[in-house]
Amino acid sequence: VVGFEAANSFVKVFTRGRQAVYANTITELGQESFSKVLETTERNANTVYTVNGKSYNVGLTHKYRTSSGTDIERYKSEMYLIESLIAISQVVDDGETITVATGIPADHYHAKGTAKQYINAALVGTHTILVNGNELTFTIKEVVVILQPLASYFYALVNELGTADDSMIERIENTETLIIDIGFGTTDLAYCLGYNLHNFDVVTDSMKTVYEKVAQQLKADAAAKNVKLATAKIKLLDLEKQIREKKYFTYANKRYDVMGTYEKALKETASNIIADVRSSTGLDQFTTIIFTGGGSKSMAAYIENELKDPATDNLPENIFFIDSKAAQMANVKGYFVYTNYLR
Tens of pLDDT, residues 186-196: 899 999 999 99
* pLDDT tier for residue 29 given thresholds of 50, 70 and 90: confident
Q: What is the pLDDT of residue 45?
A: 56
Other Cβ atoms closer than 10 A to 134: 9
* Element spanning 245, H or E: helix 236-246
E strands, the chain, are 2-6, 10-15, 18-23, 26-28, 49-51, 54-58, 96-104, 125-131, 134-147, 176-182, 187-193, 196-203, 249-251, 254-256, 288-292, 319-321
CB 305 within 8 Å of CB 268? no
Q: What is the pLDDT of residue 38?
A: 43
**Which of 90-94, 229-233, 238-242, 292-296 comes out lowest in average pLDDT?**
229-233
What gap in Å lies between CA 247 and CA 259, rounded to an integer? 6
Angle between helices 207-225 and 294-307 (to 10 degrees): 90
All residues at 6 or more sequence positions from 45 whose CB lies less than 8 Å from its CB, including other chains: 35, 38, 57, 58, 59, 60
All residues at 6 or more sequence positions from 326 whose CB lies less than 8 Å from its CB, including other chains: 155, 333
Please return the burial class of 90, using the count of CB atoms within 10 Å of its CB with bins 0-12, 13-18 and 19+. Answer: buried
- How far is Cα of residue 306 from the mean position of the Cα atoms in its chain? 24
DSSP class per residue in 48-95: -EEETTEEEEES--SS-B---SS-GGGGGSHHHHHHHHHHHHTT--TT
**Position 157 pLDDT exceeds 50:** yes
| pLDDT 10s digits, 306-323 | 999 999 999 999 999 998
What gap in Å lies between CA 287 and CA 53, rounded to an integer? 53
**Which of 83-97, 147-161, 222-236, 295-309 comes out lowest in average pLDDT?**
222-236
Biggest distance spanned by C-alpha atoms of the chain: 65
Side chain identity at residue 82, one-letter code: I
What gap in Å lies between CA 155 and CA 293, rounded to an integer? 12
| pLDDT 10s digits, 41-69 | 344 557 999 999 999 999 887 777 777 66
Other Cβ atoms closer than 10 A to 144: 18
Other Cβ atoms closer than 10 A to 173: 10
| pLDDT 10s digits, 257-266 | 999 999 999 9
* pTM of the full structure: 0.91
Q: Which residue has the higher pLDDT, 42 or 27?
A: 27
